[in-house]
């Protein structure tokens, strides 16, 4: 069944931020419950890729009983193929800072942090300047909220929210068991709202224009717009804001080079979609009625027919093997064995049927790994092996 | 106090002595000394009153916290999928050829170290590399030669 939502461009995120003082001041005068309801009715879902409803997250943090709470902006953008958060922090930092402060007001937090990945350290001086200007304004309007930057040190796994807390607490970035969830036990065991950079920027849009404007964009279950990081074999690599819900075929028509063989949706932890499934695949959160629906943190990598899918999978698995934190066995050993396994099949020291054993291994990892990293290795592995099996063997 | 002790005590005064200040302190030492020696890790543990094994365990988890001696300029070439497709190998060859070192090695004068790294977030401008905190994108062998020539003069 073909989905027929055309590709629709939008321009909210990078639209000027010069009115941030007005929007911030105006929003801080409004009732907290009313703001939470505004966010819930927008149906905004987390833009880091996991898609948790933002309004519900803020509501839960608001209801948590504690004097000390935190707001954290997750800028540990490490998923291969995504680079939108850096652009937001460079071009419209005040939207993110204002959104953090509004969140602080709603949930009752006085301290915010931006967890900035080490690879983006060069952003720090400009961002600090923006934070200083922001702090000055907060003081002027007598609003008590401060923001600091916490710098990461090159670990992909720290983008996982509980690993990020561990990292901020001065420990190895090893994910925690969930529950308890961050809205009750987050950073320093205190109630914490942790949102992706882009999610925060969208809340600014919602508080500025009202939830209806946002809700009217996109499709059912996938409301609003999303930034897409487009790379690979495309004549137009870059960052694009599009309404959610378009079909992958429309996307490829717009961004492909005419010879697109497959698209990786959602980075190394996402799914590879082959050409024959472009028209039945939609980009959005689960729950749509027609076809396959793939969520994404915005990473869209295009491959043309000159690319070997074996090399692609080999590259992903090496990435996961290095970035696995190593605390749980399914992920630590699984990633190693998958990499050894596909090489053995390719070299002919293992039969082609060994690929099926490896597929079983990814199923086990999906069921038993502690966090999203180990669980999602199965996504790219199975979608590549199923659709390009012959390329894995010959 | 020797220079390492002084640096650590200065960092601890600036950031604080609690456990959650460990990462900024480790980063501060790496920035100044280019790596974390066993000695500096033991000293940090002493300063923050932590077991040295905890400091070592944390430090070695993070790929940007080097615990082997590195050169003044650490070159990190992105090896993740898009950079790999867009000519990362030629970039590496050019650097190896100019500096006469392999991946994981440091030049004899301790000026450069060459490393590969995972996604830097510049896929739309691949291939990319970092030299310390500075980003270089849309690299070609010619461009790399120009960039390195400038560093060689420094």
CATH classification of the domain holding A361: 1.20.1440.230
pLDDT recorded at residue A49: 83
| Angstroms from A212 CA to nearest CA on chain B | 33
pLDDT recorded at residue A127: 98
**What span, in angstroms and rounded, lies between the C-alpha atoms of A189 and A334?**
31
Q: Is B1 exposed, middle or buried (0-12, 13-18, 19+ CB in 10 A)?
A: exposed
**What span, in angstroms and rounded, lies between the C-alpha atoms of A226 and A266?**
13
**What span, in angstroms and rounded, lies between the C-alpha atoms of B8 and A295?**
45
Q: Which of B121, B122, B131, B137 to mutate to probe the A interface, most A CBs <10 Å?
A: B121
B131 touches chain A (CB under 8 A): no
Q: What tens digit of pLDDT does each residue of A352-383 get?
A: 999 999 999 999 999 999 999 999 999 999 99
For residues A49 and A295, the answer to whether their CB atoms sit within 8 Å is: yes
Q: Do B23 and A307 touch (CB under 8 A)?
A: no
**What span, in angstroms and rounded, lies between the C-alpha atoms of A289 and A284?**
12
CATH number at residue A49: 3.40.50.11540
Cis before A180 (ω within 30): yes
Q: What share of chain A is helix, strand, coil (3-state, %, to 5)?
A: 50, 15, 35
Task: Among B26, B82, B118, select the one facing A232 at the smallest CB separation.
Answer: B82
List chain A residues with CB under 8 Å of B79: 315
**What span, in angstroms and rounded, lies between the C-alpha atoms of A73 and A96?**
8
Q: Is residue A32 one of the residues assigned to a domain?
A: yes
Give the dihedral sign, CA A107/A82/A269/A246.
positive
Task: Among B27, B63, B126, select the one facing A151 at the smallest CB separation.
Answer: B27
Q: If you ran DSSP here, which 8-state letter would residue A7 be given? A: P
**What span, in angstroms and rounded, lies between the C-alpha atoms of A63 and A77?**
29
| Angstroms from B99 CA to nearest CA on chain A | 23
A5 band by pLDDT with thresholds 50, 70 and 90:
low
Judgement on whether residues A62 and A164 belong to the same structural domain of the protein: yes
**What span, in angstroms and rounded, lies between the C-alpha atoms of A83 and A77?**
7
List chain B residues with CB under 8 Å of A79: 119
Domain end residue (candidates: A165, A195, A215): A215
**What span, in angstroms and rounded, lies between the C-alpha atoms of B95 and B105?**
12
Q: Which residues pair with A151 in a beta bridge?
A: A116
Q: Is residue A211 one of the residues assigned to a domain?
A: yes
pLDDT of residue A289 exceeding 70, the answer is no
List chain A residues with CB under 8 Å of B135: 122
Q: Region B19-37: what's the mean pLDDT?
A: 97
Q: What tens digit of pLDDT does each residue of B39-95 get?
A: 999 999 999 999 999 999 999 999 999 999 999 999 999 999 999 999 999 999 999
Q: Which of A75, A80, A238 to mutate to probe the B interface, most B CBs <10 Å?
A: A80
- Structural domain boundaries enclosing A345: 309-393
**What span, in angstroms and rounded, lies between the C-alpha atoms of B139 and B93?**
13
List chain A residues with CB under 8 Å of B18: 170
| Angstroms from A209 CA to nearest CA on chain B | 31
Task: Among A122, A155, A312, select the one facing B134 at the smallest CB separation.
Answer: A122
Task: Among A171, A230, A315, select the one facing B80 at the smallest CB separation.
Answer: A315
For residues B152 and B113, the answer to whether their CB atoms sit within 8 Å is: no
Q: Is residue A362 one of the residues assigned to a domain?
A: yes
For residues A92 and A18, the answer to whether their CB atoms sit within 8 Å is: no
Residues of chain B with CATH 3.40.30.10: 73-153
Judgement on whether residues A164 and A42 belong to the same structural domain of the protein: yes
List chain A residues with CB under 8 Å of B124: 83, 229-231, 237-239
Report in angstroms the alpha-carbon separations of A340 from A317, A333, A336, B46, B97.
Answer: 10, 11, 6, 42, 30
Q: How far apart are the first and last CA of chain A?
A: 33
B49 touches chain A (CB under 8 A): no
DSSP string for B77-140: EE-SHHHHHTTHHHHHHHHHHHH---TT-B-TTS-EEEEEES--S-GGG-S-EEETTEEE-S--
Domain end residue (candidates: A181, A197, A215): A215
- Tell me which residues of chain A, numbers 250 to 309, contact chain B at a CB-CB cutoff of 8 Å: 264, 268, 301, 303, 307
Q: Is residue A59 one of the residues assigned to a domain?
A: yes
**What span, in angstroms and rounded, lies between the C-alpha atoms of A299 and B130?**
21
Is CATH 2.60.40.10 the right assignment for the domain spanning B73-153?
Answer: no
List chain B residues with CB under 8 Å of A170: 18-23, 58
pLDDT recorded at residue A47: 93
pLDDT recorded at residue A93: 98
Judgement on whether residues A343 and A206 belong to the same structural domain of the protein: no
Domain end residue (candidates: A215, A248, A275): A215
**What span, in angstroms and rounded, lies between the C-alpha atoms of A170 and B23?**
5
**Number of A–B residue contacts, CB under 8 Å:** 120
Give the dihedral sign, CA A86/A375/A160/A201.
positive
Tokens of B96: 């190896």
**What span, in angstroms and rounded, lies between the C-alpha atoms of A205 and A23?**
10
Q: Do B121 and A86 touch (CB under 8 A)?
A: yes
Q: Region A41-52: what's the mean pLDDT?
A: 92
> In this structure, what are the phi and psi dihedrals at residue B9, rounded to the nearest 5 degrees?
-70, -35
Q: Is residue A34 one of the residues assigned to a domain?
A: yes
Instruction: Look at A41-55, A91-105, A163-177 and tell me which has the smallest mean pLDDT.
Output: A41-55
pLDDT recorded at residue A3: 44
ipTM above 0.85, yes or no: yes
Q: Do A121 and B133 touch (CB under 8 A)?
A: yes
The domain tally of chain A equals 2
DSSP string for A333-360: HHHHHHHHHHHHHHHTSS-TTHHHHHHH
List chain A residues with CB under 8 Å of B84: 311, 315
Q: Do B57 and A120 touch (CB under 8 A)?
A: no
For residues A70 and A115, the answer to whether their CB atoms sit within 8 Å is: no
Q: Do A232 and B21 touch (CB under 8 A)?
A: no
pLDDT mean across residues, chain A? 95
List chain A residues with CB under 8 Å of B120: 119
Judgement on whether residues A77 and A197 belong to the same structural domain of the protein: yes
């Amino acid at each position: 069944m073909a989905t027929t939502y055309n590709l629709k461009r939008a321009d909210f995120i990078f639209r000027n931020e010069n009115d941030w003082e007005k929007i911030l001041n105006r929003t801080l005068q409004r009732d907290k419950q009313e703001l939470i309801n505004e966010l819930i009715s927008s149906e905004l879902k987390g833009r880091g890729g996991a898609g948790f409803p933002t309004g519900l997250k803020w509501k839960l943090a608001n209801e948590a009983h504690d004097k000390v709470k935190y707001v954290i902006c997750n800028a540990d953008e490490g998923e291969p193929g995504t680079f939108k958060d850096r652009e937001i922090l460079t071009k419209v930092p005040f939207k993110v800072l204002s959104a953090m402060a509004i969140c602080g007001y709603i949930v009752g937090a006085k301290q915010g942090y931006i967890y900035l990945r080490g690879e983006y350290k060069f952003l720090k001086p400009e961002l600090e300047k923006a934070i200083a200007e922001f702090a000055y304004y907060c003081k002027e309007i007598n609003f008590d909220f401060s923001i600091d930057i916490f710098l990461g040190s090159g670990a992909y796994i720290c983008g996982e929210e509980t690993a990020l807390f561990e990292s901020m607490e001065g420990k190895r970035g090893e994910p925690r068991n969930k529950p308890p969830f961050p809205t009750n036990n987050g950073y320093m065991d205190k109630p914490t709202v942790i949102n992706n950079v882009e999610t925060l920027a969208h809340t600014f849009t919602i508080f500025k224009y009202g939830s209806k404007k946002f809700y009217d964009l996109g499709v059912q279950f996938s409301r609003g717009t999303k930034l897409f990081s487009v790379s690979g074999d495309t004549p137009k690599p870059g960052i694009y804001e599009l309404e959610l819900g378009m079909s992958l075929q429309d996307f490829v028509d717009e961004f492909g080079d005419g010879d697109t063989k497959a698209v990786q949706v959602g980075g190394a932890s996402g799914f590879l979609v082959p050409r024959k499934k472009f028209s039945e695949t939609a980009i959005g959160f689960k729950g749509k009625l027609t076809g396959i629906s793939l969520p994404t943190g915005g990473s869209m990598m295009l491959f043309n027919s000159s690319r070997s899918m074996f090399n692609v999978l080999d590259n992903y698995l090496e990435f996961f093997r290095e970035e696995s934190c190593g605390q749980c066995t399914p992920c630590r050993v699984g990633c190693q064995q998958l990499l050894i396994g596909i090489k053995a099949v390719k070299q002919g020291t293992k039969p082609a049927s060994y690929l099926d054993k490896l597929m079983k291994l990814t199923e086990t990892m999906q069921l038993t790994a502690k966090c999203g990293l180990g669980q999602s290795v199965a996504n790219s592995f199975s979608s590549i092996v199923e659709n390009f099996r012959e390329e894995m063997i010959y | 106090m020797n220079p390492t002790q002084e640096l650590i005590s200065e960092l601890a005064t600036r950031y604080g002595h609690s456990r959650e200040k460990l990462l900024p302190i480790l980063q501060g030492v790496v920035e100044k000394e280019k790596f974390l020696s066993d000695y500096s890790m033991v000293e940090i543990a002493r300063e923050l009153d932590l077991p040295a094994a905890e400091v070592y365990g944390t430090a070695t988890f993070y790929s940007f916290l080097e615990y082997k001696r590195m050169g003044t300029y650490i070159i990190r070439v992105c090896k993740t999928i898009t950079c790999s497709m867009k000519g990362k190998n030629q970039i590496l060859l050019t650097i190896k050829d100019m500096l006469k070192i392999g991946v994981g090695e440091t030049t004899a004068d301790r000026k450069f170290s060459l490393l590969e790294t995972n996604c830097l977030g510049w896929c739309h401008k691949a291939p990319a590399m970092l030299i310390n905190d500075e980003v270089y994108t849309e690299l070609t062998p010619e461009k790399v030669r120009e960039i390195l020539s400038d560093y060689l003069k420094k």
